[in-house]
Amino acid sequence: MKKHGQLADFLQARRGQLRPGDVGLQTYGERRRVPGLRREELAMLAGISAPYYSRLEQGQSHNASPEVLDALAGALRLDESERAHLHALAQTPRGGKTAGRPRPERITEATRTLLAALDGTPAIVLGRRSDVLAWNRQGHALFAGHLDRSGPDDPGRRPNMARTVFLDAHTRDLYTDWPAKARAVVGNLRLTAGRYPDDPLLAALVGELSVHSTEFSSMWADHRIVACGAADYEMRHPLVGTLTVTQQTLQSPQGDGPALVVATAAPGSPSATALALLAHTVAPQETARPQHDVSPSATG
Res 100: pLDDT: 61
Res 96: pLDDT: 47
Question: In the chain, what is the greatest distance between 2 CA atoms, to the nearest angstrom?
Answer: 108
- The rounded distance, in Å, linking the Cα atoms of 212 and 165 is 12
Structural domains for the chain: 3-90 (1.10.260.40), 109-282 (3.30.450.180)
pLDDT digits (tens, 9 = 90+) for 56-104: 988 887 778 899 999 999 999 998 888 988 888 888 555 445 556 777 8
Res 23: pLDDT: 80
Res 1: pLDDT: 54
| Predicted confidence band of residue 168 (pLDDT cuts 50, 70, 90) | very high
243 neighbors 206 (Cβ within 8 angstroms): no
pLDDT at 250 over 60: yes
Residue range 217-245: mean pLDDT, rounded: 91
- The rounded distance, in Å, linking the Cα atoms of 277 and 265 is 13
> Residue 42 burial (CB < 10 Å; 0-12/13-18/19+)?
buried
